[in-house]
Amino acid sequence: MSAFFSGLWVILTLELRQRVRTASWYVLIGVFVALIAIVTVVVSVALRGFGADDLGGAAIYSTIIYFVLLLGTLVAPALSGNAINGDRDAGTLATTQVTLITTWQLIIGKFLAAWVTALAFLAAAVPFLIYASVVGRLSAAAITVSILILAIELGVVAAIGVGLSGLVARPLFSVVLSYLAVAALSIGTLIAFSLGGLAVQTEVSNVSSYGTDYNSAGNAITCSAPETYTYRAPRFDLFWGVLAANPYVVLADAVPSSFDRNGNPTDLFGQIKSGVRSAQIAPETLVVFNECTNTFPQTPSARDVIDSTTPGWFVGLTIHLILAVGALVGAWARIRTPAARLGRGSRIA
């Protein structure tokens, strides 16, 4: 077992030295830190303008976490998407495979290197996260969960990139595919959710009866005859499962929310969470509005929505982990030696 890890360590350090630790990489981290600093300042000032007092920190914190997720998923495919086929092109894959390094050591080492690289963005953001969490008085649970989920999601993207670089012969193509996979999860799920919800619609009847005469207390005593009109409402409740696979939603859904006095979430996570969770609720097919009987459509608070609906983040996370492991296993089957078959036009050396 220790032989396995020492081989893994060799590949990991080699990968970091060879592929990642270059001048342009440090420039990228520098730009990233500058961007986060700008975001932190702008969000702080903006929230002060809205009068959010001590809780502005929670919003800053969640914004930074999302920013790290965004940049991490944008950068990780570029760094991991040619990990294996790039080596083949450079003629260094076969010379590694002919040593005592096993295929799993090679693949996991490369995956860990890509993951560590993506986590460097998280590390660079730590000072800002500390500031925001102190100002926002975040709960330890929220901090732990958000960072943990973020780290796992970055690992998923790294694994998909490394896996595709083993499965696909050409580096350019595998990098593009990795980006498409990230886009499918981040944006594709959103599009599928919206289109699905809009495609399937339910007829909703609205029966309204308005007050025509009021007593001195302002209550209606006589009302108009009930007017019925119908409209069609999208059925997002049938497609909320699609959104569960979205990494931003997974993150938001997993983090324990905190609410203000009116039951509104204090951070971006909570807002997205309540939005996604309310999609689970099927639209009422009969909406009654009657001023005489004081019957009004109820709008539940974000807190009520979140408390009454099903969390879906672990489903999404499981899907992501299956994708990541599947990509790595696929790459293993594809590049293991002695090779049974070669891809079209691919040279083993």
Residue number with CB closer to another protein (91 or 226): 91
Residue number with CB closer to another protein (218 or 338): 338
As a whole number of angstroms, the distance between CA 118 and CA 182 comes to 14
**What torsion, rounded to 10 degrees, do the Cα atoms 148, 154, 157, 161 define?**
-130
Q: Which of 248, 253, 250 is nearest to 319 (CA)?
A: 250
As a whole number of angstroms, the distance between CA 106 and CA 155 comes to 16
Strands 220-223 and 211-214: antiparallel
Residue number with CB closer to another protein (111 or 239): 111
Residue number with CB closer to another protein (94 or 145): 94
Q: Closest approach of Cβ 341 to another protein, in Å?
A: 8
Q: Closest approach of Cβ 117 to another protein, in Å?
A: 15
Q: Closest approach of Cβ 166 to another protein, in Å?
A: 15
Residue number with CB closer to another protein (62 or 165): 165
Residue number with CB closer to another protein (191 or 348): 348
Q: Closest approach of Cβ 326 to another protein, in Å?
A: 24
As a whole number of angstroms, the distance between CA 6 and CA 326 comes to 25
Q: Closest approach of Cβ 104 to another protein, in Å?
A: 13
Name 214's bridge partners.
Answer: 220
Q: Closest approach of Cβ 79 to another protein, in Å?
A: 14
As a whole number of angstroms, the distance between CA 295 and CA 209 comes to 10
Residue number with CB closer to another protein (22 or 219): 22
User: How buried is residue 206: exposed, middle or buried, by Cβ count under 10 Å (0-12/13-18/19+)?
Assistant: middle
The SS3 assignment for 70 reads helix
- Counting Cα atoms < 13 Å in the Cβ hemisphere of 275 gives 14
Q: Closest approach of Cβ 33 to another protein, in Å?
A: 24
Residues that bind another protein (CB under 8 A): 3, 6-7, 10, 14, 17-18, 21-22, 87, 90-101, 337-340, 342, 347-349
Cβ neighbours of residue 102 closer than 8 Å, sequence gap 6 or more: 4, 7
